[in-house]
C-alpha cells in the first residue's frame, strides 16, 4: 500500500472512507524519500496519528460551534497575568484541566465590569471542548429571552431544554445583572435542578451571591437557585485593571 505509485489521484478513496488525513499522510510518506528507511509499522503509526489528530480537531470545532460561545478562539493560553490582577496561573491551569467538570461541581466567577470574567469563562469552554466535553454558553438575559419566546408545547423547546439539562458544562454569563421575571426564575430553577449530579454550571456575575436576591422576586426560588449553584461551587474573585481597555491598547501597539 505504501509504494511510490500512490498519488493524489488515490485521495477520493480515502475521502470516501472518511480517512482524508490518513490518506494524505500515506501519500506523503510514499512520495518522500526521507521516509524510505521507515519501517512499515512506523509509516502506519504516523498516518494513524495524523488521522487521529484531524478527527480530534474536527470534533473540537463541532463542540465549540454547538456551545454557542461568542468567542471560540478564547483560550487559557492567551490569558494575561498583569500586575495587580488577581488571577493565578495555577488556578487557571487547574480549571482548564476540567477535573471540576468530571466531578460535576460548579464555578462562580465574580468581579466588577471589564475585569475579564467573560473571557475566562469562554476560555474554559474552549478547554472543555478540547477535552471532549459538551458545553453551552449563554448570557442569562439571552437565555431568558429565548425561553420567553418558545411555546411550552413546542418540540424545539423540549430539545433545547434537554440540551441544557444534559451538557457537561453550562455557562451563564452576566448572571442576574438585571432582574428576571418570576416565570423565567422558575424555569432557571428547573434547569439547575435537572443538572444536579449530571453536569457543571459556571456563572459570571458582577454581584456577590448574597445580592442575587435583589434580581429575583420570589425568596423561595431565589434561595433554591443560590443553593444549587453556590453550595457546590468554587469561587474565583477577579480584580485588577480594565481588560477591555488593556486589550484595545495591546491591539493598537
User: And the C-alpha cell for 158?
Assistant: 423540549
Query: Within this chain, do residues 139 and 55 fall inside the same structural domain, yes or no?
Result: no
In a domain, 2, yes or no: no
Q: How far, in Å, are 57, 120, 203 from residue 81 at the CA level?
A: 28, 12, 21
113 and 53 inside one domain: no
Hey, what's the cell of 1? Answer: 500500500
- In this structure, are 213 and 168 located in the same domain? yes
Looking at residue 68, the DSSP 8-state letter turns out to be T
**Residue appearing with cell numbers 493565578:** 88
Select from 64, 85, 108 the last residue of a domain: 64
Interstrand relation of 106-110 and 135-139 (parallel, antiparallel or unpaired): unpaired
> In whole angstroms, what is the distance from residue 144 CA to residue 247 CA?
30
Classify residue 154: in a domain, yes or no.
yes
According to DSSP, the residues that pair with 173 across neighbouring strands are: 139
Strand-strand pairing, 106-110 and 200-205: parallel
**Do residues 56 and 73 share a domain?**
no
16-35 burial, b if ≥16 CB within 10 A, otherwise e? eeebbbbbbbbbebbeeeee
Mean pLDDT rounded to a whole number for the chain = 86
Give yes or no: residues 152 and 34 share one domain: no
| pLDDT higher than threshold 70 for residue 52 | yes
Question: pLDDT tens digit string along 132-160?
Answer: 999 999 999 999 999 888 877 778 888 99
Number of domains making up the chain: 2
One domain, residues 22 and 93? no
pLDDT at res. 253: 41
Give the residue with greater pLDDT, 198 vs 153: 198
Cα first-last separation, the chain: 52
pTM assigned to the model: 0.80
Give the model's pLDDT for residue 153: 74
Amino acid at each position: 500500500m505504501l509504494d511510490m505509485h500512490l498519488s493524489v489521484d488515490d485521495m477520493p478513496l480515502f475521502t470516501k472512507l472518511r480517512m482524508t488525513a490518513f490518506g494524505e499522510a500515506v501519500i506523503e510518506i510514499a512520495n518522500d524519500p526521507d521516509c524510505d528507511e521507515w519501517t512499515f509499522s512506523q509509516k502506519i503509526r504516523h498516518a494513524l496519528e495524523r488521522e487521529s489528530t484531524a478527527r480530534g480537531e474536527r470534533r473540537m470545532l463541532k463542540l465549540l460551534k454547538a456551545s454557542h460561545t461568542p468567542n471560540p478562539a478564547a483560550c487559557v493560553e492567551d490569558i494575561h497575568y498583569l500586575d495587580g490582577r488577581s488571577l493565578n496561573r495555577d488556578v487557571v491551569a487547574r480549571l482548564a484541566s476540567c477535573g471540576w467538570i468530571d466531578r460535576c461541581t460548579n464555578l462562580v466567577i465574580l468581579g466588577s465590569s471589564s475585569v475579564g470574567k467573560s473571557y475566562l469563562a469562554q476560555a474554559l469552554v474552549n478547554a472543555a471542548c478540547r477535552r471532549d466535553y459538551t458545553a453551552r454558553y449563554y448570557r442569562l438575559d439571552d437565555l431568558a429571552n429565548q425561553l420567553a419566546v418558545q411555546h411550552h408545547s413546542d418540540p424545539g423547546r423540549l430539545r433545547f431544554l434537554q440540551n441544557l439539562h444534559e451538557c457537561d458544562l453550562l455557562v451563564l454569563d452576566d448572571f442576574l445583572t438585571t432582574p428576571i421575571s418570576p416565570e423565567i426564575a422558575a424555569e432557571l430553577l428547573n434547569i439547575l435542578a435537572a443538572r444536579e449530579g449530571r453536569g457543571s454550571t459556571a456563572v459570571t456575575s458582577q454581584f456577590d451571591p448574597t445580592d442575587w436576591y435583589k434580581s429575583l422576586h420570589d425568596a423561595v426560588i431565589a434561595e433554591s437557585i443560590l443553593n444549587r449553584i453556590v453550595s457546590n461551587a468554587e469561587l474565583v474573585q477577579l480584580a485588577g485593571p480594565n481588560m477591555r481597555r488593556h486589550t484595545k491598547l495591546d491591539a493598537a501597539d
